[in-house]
Amino acid sequence: MLVAHHRVLRGKEHGRAKQWAVLVTGCPECGAPAEPHSCEELFHVVLALDHSRRPPRGPLHGVTVSCFLLQHPSRLPAPDRARTWAILHAYVNEGLTAVTRLTEGMRRANSHQNRAAALPDIVTGVPTPPLGPTPTAFSVTINDVAQDGTFPAVGFPERVNAWATATVAGWRSQ
Ligand SMILES: [Zn+2]
């Protein structure tokens, strides 16, 4: 994405081209603008809010993390994508109650130290995780959820919903 931008700008007047190159620089994984806050910075902000455990952010913690990881898959080894994908899938299709049911099932499976064997049963009906080329842009990113960088509580669930939907759609369109 960035390479394409730079190629377009190369023919233009030098000073202005340089200014533009800074403006179009974004996250190479999700396509969000890198300024004024990088995705990494925003992720730390939302994690701190999640850990307060207060609605609306706390209950959406698993969904928030799953969206971020699937939009930044360099942080998520392929074998771990099944779980993350299943969480988002459950949320987009059936809502937060389904996510709670799923994560509780996973927790039980973990406590039996039978994680690898138990996972396929838990995620019955969920399509296999995306294995195609990794998307590099999504219609909704963490930057949209953060708004001014503070993840305002008003409208937060709706923005996370749009983020989750865009994440699933981005991977499915491969
Ligand atoms: Zn990003």
Residue 15 lies in a domain: no
For residue 118, give its domain range. Answer: 39-172
> How far is the centre of ligand 1, averaged over its atoms, from the C-alpha of 128 (Å)?
24
- Around Cβ 61, how many Cβ atoms within 10 Å? 17
Structural domains counted in the chain: 1
pLDDT, averaged across the chain: 79
> How far is the centre of ligand 1, averaged over its atoms, from the C-alpha of 29 (Å)?
5
> How far is the centre of ligand 1, averaged over its atoms, from the C-alpha of 68 (Å)?
8
Q: Who wins on pLDDT, 145 or 89?
A: 145
Residue 18 lies in a domain: no
Residue 5 lies in a domain: no
Give every CB contact of residue 160 below 8 A, 6+ residues apart in sequence. Answer: 60, 63, 64, 67, 145
Residue 22 lies in a domain: no
> How far is the centre of ligand 1, averaged over its atoms, from the C-alpha of 136 (Å)?
9
> How far is the centre of ligand 1, averaged over its atoms, from the C-alpha of 10 (Å)?
25
> How far is the centre of ligand 1, averaged over its atoms, from the C-alpha of 61 (Å)?
18
Report pLDDT for 14: 46
pLDDT digits (tens, 9 = 90+) for 12-40: 444 444 444 445 579 999 999 998 999 99
